[in-house]
Chain A
Amino acid sequence: MFPKLDPILHSELRLAVMSILAGADEADFTYLKKQTGATSGNLSVQIDKLTTAGYITVEKGFKGKMPRTTCKITLAGQNAFSSYVEALKEFLSAGNVR
Chain B
Amino acid sequence: MEQNKEMTAQESLQLISESFNKSRKDILRNSAKYFVLWGALLTVTSLAIYLLWHLTGKPQWNFLWFVMPVIGYPLAALIGKHNKTIPQNEVSKMLGGVWSVFGAFAITLSAIAVSLVPMHVTLIIVIIMGLAECMSGVLLKNWPIIIAGFLLGVGGAVFAILVKSEAQLLVFTLGGVLLLVTGLIMKLQYK
Chain B residues contacting A63 (CB-CB under 8 Å) are 84
* Contact segment of B21-29, B110-118, B156-164: B21-29
A28 to B88 Cα, complex, angstroms: 11
| Interface pair A11/B3, CB less than 8 Å apart | yes
Chain A residues contacting B23 (CB-CB under 8 Å) are 19-20, 23-24, 27, 35
Q: Give the size range of A's interface with the partner.
A: 35 or more
Chain B residues contacting A97 (CB-CB under 8 Å) are 8-10
Chain A residues contacting B16 (CB-CB under 8 Å) are 15, 19, 85
A2 to B86 Cα, complex, angstroms: 36
CB distance from A84 to the nearest CB of B (A): 8
**Contact check: which of A22, A25, A31, A92 meets B10 at CB < 8 Å?**
A92
CB distance from B31 to the nearest CB of A (A): 13
CB distance from A70 to the nearest CB of B (A): 9
B residues contacting A by CB (< 8 A) are: 1-5, 7-10, 12-13, 15-20, 22-24, 26-27, 84-90, 93
